[in-house]
Amino acid sequence: MQRRSTASNADLTHSFGTLLKQWRNQRGYSQLELALISQVSQRHISFLESGRAKPSREMVLQLATVLEVPLRQQNLMLSAAGFAPIHAETDLSAPEMSSVLKALDFMLRQQEPYPAFVIDRYWNLLLTNNAATRLLAFFIDPDQLQSDFYVDGKINLMHVIFHPKGLRPFVVNWEKLAGRLLQRVHREAMAEGENEQSNTLLNELMSYPGVAALWQTSKQSTQDALLLTTHFKREQLEWKFFSTIATLGTPYDITLQELRIECLFPADEATEQNWSRI
């Protein structure tokens, strides 16, 4: 017998049917298309969305998997349907994360002498290698970094990039970079449905001077290179980096699913030579 959550659903913003419909629309499926790929009748999909039928826990997970709903939002769907969440959100410092931390530490060390960052889904900085620490300290005084950018013990890299007292004055192509990053934050927010934290981050970035105007121009800008590089400059030193982003495969934990490992690589020979000077 399946156990339903005894917690009150009064604080839930949406019913399961509403969430299902939102995710179906978000993924661009009609009810018929979702029925075909999930092997559930269209009539049942319609009844679930209207609230005329109640899903089993297995049905919630089946539809969420087909719709590629992130684990955090799968928990919300389960709660809305009356079931207890099943996906844990484990702190990286927990003993069961030791093997993951070893793997992350290995990747960070392998990226030396170039910067690498481990961030969460909302661009909060979790881990760095020595090169990344040097990069931030070269442009932003550590005391200022602590006073202006630490929130709840974490640094948000998006705020560091967009804030006038952060990296913004040292990025030559800041407007182009900021425009692309705004698009990325927006895409990620859309990809995981309605999420207060994602929307809050986007709104906070848009509130910085000159950022709102970049939203439209960034959509219209043309590509003139294979990769968008970040062009740093301070006094006579310049660096151009492009980045790669890696994720962990087949995670069952929310923390692990939301981890991102971003590595910076020199985009030209001058960067390779100048990087050793800091």
Residue 86 belongs to some domain of the structure? no
Same domain, 243 and 155: yes
Q: Is the pLDDT of residue 264 over 80?
A: yes
Residue 209 belongs to some domain of the structure? no
Same domain, 66 and 115: no
Each residue of 76-104: pLDDT tens digit? 999 999 999 999 999 999 999 999 999 99
Same domain, 155 and 20: no
Split at pLDDT 50, 70, 90, the class of 163 is very high
CA distance 137 to 172: 18
CATH code assigned at 48 = 1.10.260.40
Total structural domains in the chain?
2
Range of the domain at 69: 16-80
pLDDT recorded at residue 268: 93
| Tokens representing residue 187 in the block | 């895409």
Residue 41 belongs to some domain of the structure? yes
Each residue of 117-139: pLDDT tens digit? 999 999 999 999 999 999 999 99
Split at pLDDT 50, 70, 90, the class of 167 is very high
Q: What are phi and psi of 209, to 5 degrees?
A: -55, 130
pLDDT recorded at residue 212: 86
pLDDT recorded at residue 259: 96
Residue 262 belongs to some domain of the structure? yes
Same domain, 34 and 166: no
Question: Which among 241, 236, 232 is positioned nearest to 262, based on CA atoms?
Answer: 241
Same domain, 114 and 231: yes
Residue 89 belongs to some domain of the structure? no
pLDDT recorded at residue 4: 38
Same domain, 149 and 232: yes
Same domain, 63 and 140: no
Residue 149 belongs to some domain of the structure? yes
pLDDT recorded at residue 9: 39
CA distance 234 to 169: 9
Residue 244 belongs to some domain of the structure? yes
CATH code assigned at 106 = 3.30.450.180
Each residue of 33-51: pLDDT tens digit? 999 999 999 999 999 999 9
Each residue of 229-241: pLDDT tens digit? 999 999 889 999 9
Q: Please check whether residue 264 is in contact with residue 242, taking contact to mean a CB–CB distance below 8 angstroms.
A: yes
Same domain, 47 and 117: no
Same domain, 100 and 63: no
Residue 201 belongs to some domain of the structure? no
CA distance 21 to 17: 6
Identify which has the larger pLDDT, 220 or 74. Answer: 74
pLDDT recorded at residue 197: 79
pTM: 0.83
Same domain, 70 and 157: no
Q: Is the pLDDT of residue 198 over 90?
A: no
Same domain, 117 and 72: no
